[in-house]
Structure 1
Amino acid sequence: MRRSREIQGDIIAGAKKDHVQLLLLKFEDDSLARTWLRRLRPRIATTRQVASFNAEFSRARKQSGGDDPKALNAVWRVVSFTYPGLRLLAGRDPFPSVPPGSTQEAFKQGAAARADLLGDTGQCAPEHWLFGNGTGQPIHAVLTVAADRPQDLRVALTEEREEAARHKVVIVFEQDGATLEGSRRGKEHFGFKDGISEPAVQGFDQPDPDRPEHKKGSPGTRIIPAGEFVVGHERDGGRPNDLPGWATNGSFQVLRRLAQDVPGWWAQVAARLKELKEQGKVPPEATTEWLAARLVGRWRSGTPVAKCPHADSPSDAEAWSDNDISYRDDLEGEITPLFSHLRKSSPRDGLLLKSSDEQTVPEKGALDGRRIMRRGIPYGRPFDPAGSAGNGPDAPRGLVFVCYQSDLVRQFEFIQKDWIEEPNFPARDQPPGRDPLVGTATDVSFKGCKVHFEQFVRTEGAVYAFAPSLTTIELLTDGKLDGGGGPDGDRILEAPFTLRPADGPVGTAKARLVMREVGNLVVLDERDEQRWESGTAGTGGVRAVFQEDGDLVVLGADDRPVWKSRTTGNPHAKLIVLMDGNVVIRAAGGTVVWQTDTAH
């Protein structure tokens, strides 16, 4: 997966840049929009590019003793499309079949139509949004430009604005974002370290040999099946994917502008602490930092309250394990409250749905399937009462929340609606309350008493979009929306791809590639009748591999080939299982260099 040229670079690898600008776009002419996209396509970052750069950056940073390497810089672009945008580019409905309650339904309706469901009411309602409210100018696409250096971002934005103007692509809204500087680096505006709890991805991140369910070198970071973030890949518990073929290797994107009232939130924490002290519910020495850490689940440094309940322990030497948290010995939230943001958004191994339950909800097969891939970044200048007007209490500041997932309903919306905004999650006789950090106004149950928290994070805009694969983007430039694998498209397999007997069939309704236990690679049709074989039964073949040089081979246990398609010398070729039943290897230029001749 690290070598994927199909998956856009921000989804799995993560752009990880200090300076970001999101351009929210409207297409005024569908033909010109396709031309714009055709010209943009070569500039879109792939997983292979971003992962390679990030690995090189990490090595250089380690060699320099922790300093960012000044000579390593890059600019990444990511593009996603709303439902109206896809429909305009493709000239047809991208989701003609929309089951009730499905992610297709949520995507088609859009973020504004789902606002009530997610708690975006009152001052957070769409009529107050700066973009995406469903009544202003429509948004067809989101172009994200991310850079290490501000001067590089400015140059890239100039190019993108000129390209947009040339093709009648209107910039409806621009949202900036930047890493906070100095001691605030890596933190959000309330002052807490952010981005610690991101999941690892199966097939992308290396597992720990002693704890294979966790990422190597990052204790507590669970490895989640790639299909939870990228459509068409294996999902937690083997759940099926009912999305059309063109969605393969793409991901649903949620964009939210979340305004933060920093002085208001901290003033509220101080007021609630005073009340709790008067009631004798907290230690006499408790500070606002102490209470704030319990609302978040971490201290400012990122140290979990579960590990250091009494005071922060901001040690760089221990920061590598800040995600290694267990709530198994704190099922009722005596140390880290059940209402804390950390437990509300990701309950980990400590979720008892009811106090009477005998078993916690398992992570594998249940909670892992709720994870999202967050890519947020702060916007605005930090609050500083001694600073200029731009640092004052009324200056705009907050978080540009971005996340990727393969199912909007099961992942982002479930977390927001059923966990963060649900007062009685997990269910208790005294409801724990909503998330007091990012949720709406709530009463939380703290040490047996109710404590009221107002809302100090407001939604000021939201968009649901889809970041398609590079192949699907290419199709959209021609006004098409088919192919890419799945129930109504070709299955495109990019190198390196491995097929073992245990993997089962891969393909379309009329053709499925299967690696047999006897060592034979075969093509089966819709009636499970064999249409083609490699003729390697009994030769010791254990797996089929589509190599980066364009050759499809069957390898034995000693890694020696027992059969070849003899198509080496075709880098960037694709192995494609076609809807018509044929299986082909198509060179980068489009020429078919090998086929099973099984169309029917």
Structure 2
Amino acid sequence: MSDDVSDAAARNLPLRHSDEIQGDVLAGFRKDHETVVLLRFPDDPAPVRQWLARLIPQLATTRQVAAFNNDFSAARRNLAGTDPVGLRATWVNLSLTYSGLKFLMGTEPFPDQTQDGVKAFVLGASARADINGDGGESAPERWLFGRADQPVHAVLTVASDSRELLEVRASELRVAAAHGGLTVVFEQVGATLPGDRKGHEHFGFKDGISNPGVADFDRPDPDHPEQVAGKPGTRIVPAGEFVVGLPLLQRPDPGLPEWAKNGSFQVVRRLAQDVPAWWAQVAAARRTLDQAGVELPVGSGAEWVAARAVGRWRSGASVAHNPNAEPPTKPGAPDDNLISYADDKEGHTTPVFAHIRKTNPRDHFGPDHKVADTRRIIRRGIPYGQPFDPAAGPGHGPDADRGLVFVAYMSDLAFQFEFLQSAWINNTGFPPPGQNGKDPVIGQDSDVNLKLDTVPDGKPLHFAQFVRTEGTIYAFAPAISTLRDLAQRRP
């Protein structure tokens, strides 16, 4: 329901009409099939500019994607939740790395490199690995892409409702890139998981539930204007937190160059997931609690522990509202996002180390949510690989590649993404009080401290790291007009 925006309402939401901001930043592609193509430029900029000029008309804008998503949502509701067969689209998005921007500009893109987010972008993800917790098996020298010795200049994101349409468009784009002298460095294909796993990641949990709303794009609830209409608990954040040059919540404008306006910084990561190992340690943690005599709800098993690690049950229902068992799924019900931690500061219901609490502390620090809202990012991830199901045959076993293509947009790499990684996800002391452990889903190896009403001081449990970084790229998705200037070599 919340995706439907009437013509009258849309007139009051100017960002929905933007032909400057690329699609997927504010209006998510939200397709079942996606591929990310990493490209390297040749030495001569002339054919690259020609390639870019031909590509620009194919790039999706916010206006196009928002209108399609609105129509798709309305049609799906009329079909009682079934996807409309005849309503399909294939979208393309382009972002450029620091070296790609510098190559096309022929000069320094950011003359002032004192701002932390700019410094992060200039140095690149491999140089920032320690900040992001990427060491050991996740160290850059092991990466499939994004290493310092493997330059990437451009990132193409291609998304479609159909695998066949995706393959056709991706093939056309690869051929066009080759004619311009560009080389494909790496390509990662992703797809939503099949059947009742659709919308879930490989550990089995519903994903992408708590993306923020965006001011002047998402329709506010008339009774609760700080929230998105039809999405209780989904807070609306100023658009400048995600798109350069637009209003920010409370931090000062960073003063980026004019060409960066209406663009967005992008993080692309390949996160491999060891599904059987993660669930094995969840089961081991459950046995540890049993051996320690910790009293748990009758009938609860490893799923109860896994829900504490994530902060949600597999269906997406929150532990905050359903502490003892997963509730029945209610078709058409809004996502469970109207969550408060104000009366659960110690984490006796939703552990303070839970993944959803580590990445979004909500009102833990006060009713205005500002601590959380200023660090939000917009996520556009999609799984890759087959589900773990050894009985299903080749490609489904424990050694097969599977994980998440993590894509996120923001206006400041250091203030948002890197801060989340270092100060929240991998910080044992966040959120306070006490040392309660790192994020047991995507964080580094850590002991977590599970506190319950019956165990107020907590019970230590160990969670090893079973999500491995296999590549990271920092890029920037420029406005359409900026891309036109780059294609024509205008300053």
Aligned residues of 1:303 and 1:319 also touching (Cα < 8 A): no
Do residues 407 (structure 1) and 412 (structure 2) align?
Answer: yes
Contact preservation (8 Å) 1:91, 1:480: no
Give secondary structure in 1 for the equivalent of 2:395.
Answer: helix
Letter in 2 for 1:466: F
Decide whether aligned partners of structure 1 residues 456 and 238 sit closer, same or farther in structure 2, where only a CA change above 3 A counts: closer
Structure 2 match to 1:589: none
Distance (Å, rounded) in 2 between the aligned partners of 1:45 and 1:2? 13
Q: Is 1:81 aligned to residue 99 of structure 2? A: no
**Residue 2 of structure 1 contacts residue 51 of structure 1 at CA under 8 Å; is this kept in 2?**
yes
Instruction: Write the letter of the residue equivalent to 2:414.
Output: V
Q: Is the 8 A contact 2:209 2:335 kept in 1?
A: no
1:13 aligns with 2:27: yes
State how far apart, in whole Å, the 2-side matches of 1:427 and 1:194 are. Answer: 26
CA RMSD of aligned residues (A): 1.2
CA contact (8 A) 2:361 2:431 kept: no
Q: Deviations over 1:170-222 (max 9, x none)?
A: 00000111000101000000000001001111001111111110001100000
Residue of structure 2 equivalent to 1:427? 432
1:452 is matched with which residue? 462
1:325 to 323, 339, 342: 339
Percent identity over the alignment? 55
Q: TM-score, normalised by structure 2?
A: 0.94
**Counterpart Cα distance in 1 of 2:309 and 2:127:** 30
Q: Match for residue 148 of structure 1?
A: 161
The structure in which a higher percent of residues are helix is 2
In 2: Cα distance, 1:282 partner to 1:53 partner:
51
Aligned residue runs from structure 1 range 35-74, under 5 A: 35-74=50-89
Q: Quick check: 1:287 aligned with 2:301? A: yes
- Rounded to whole Å, the distance in 1 between the matches of 2:74 and 2:368 is 36
Counterpart among 470, 480, 483 of residue 470 in structure 1: 480
Shift of 1:449: 2.2
**One-letter amino acid of the structure 2 residue matched with residue 47 of structure 1:** T
Aligned to 2:318: 304
The higher radius of gyration belongs to 1
> In 2, Cα distance between the equivalents of 1:239 and 1:298?
35
Report if the CA contact (8 A) 2:346-2:433 is conserved. Answer: no
Q: 1:339 to 1:238 in 2, by over 3 A?
A: closer
Query: Structure 2 CA distance, aligned partners of 1:333 and 1:174?
Result: 41
What is the deviation of 1:241?
A: 3.0
Evaluate the alpha carbon distance shift between residue 314 and residue 467 of structure 1 in structure 2; reply closer, same or farther with a 3 A threshold. Answer: farther
Q: How does 1:355-366 map to 2 (within 5 A)?
A: 360=366, 362-364=368-370, 366=371
The reply on whether 1:240 has 2:246 as its aligned counterpart is no
- In the alignment, the residues of structure 2 paired with residue 115 and residue 480 of structure 1 have an alpha-carbon distance, to the nearest angstrom, of 34
Map 1:27-176 → 2, pairs under 5 A: 27-28=41-42, 29-99=44-114, 102-135=116-149, 137-176=150-189
Q: CA deviation at 1:112?
A: 0.3
1:440 paired with 2:454, answer no
**Ranges in structure 2 where 5+ consecutive residues have no aligned partner:** 1-14, 452-457
Write the deviation string for residues 120-171 of structure 1: whole angstroms up to 9, x where unpaired. 0000000000000112x21000001100001111110111011011010100
3-state SS of the aligned residue for 1:320?
coil
The one-letter code of the counterpart of 1:3 is H
Q: Deviations over 1:242-282 (max 9, x none)?
A: 11100000000000100000000000100111011111224
Query: Which structure ranks higher in relative contact order (CA pairs < 8 Å, sequence separation ≥ 6)?
Result: 2
| Distance in 1, Cα, partners of 2:252 & 2:395 | 49
**Could you tell me how far apart the structure 2 residues matched to 1:17 and 1:426 are?**
34
Aligned to 2:401: 396
Which secondary structure state, in structure 1, belongs to the residue aligned with residue 282 of structure 2? helix
The 2-side partners of 1:314 and 1:86 are apart by: 50
Match of 1:381 among 366, 375, 386: 386
How far off its partner does 1:426 sit? 2.0
Q: Summarize the Cα distance change of 1:62–1:272 in structure 2 as closer, same or farther, 3 Å threshold.
A: same
Instruction: Verify the 8 A CA contact 2:300 2:325 in the aligned structure 1.
Output: no
SS at match of 1:271: helix
Please, which runs of 5 or more residues in structure 1 have no aligned partner? 352-359, 482-600
Q: Is the 8 A contact 1:361 1:367 kept in 2?
A: no
TM-score of the aligned structures, taking structure 1 as reference length:
0.77
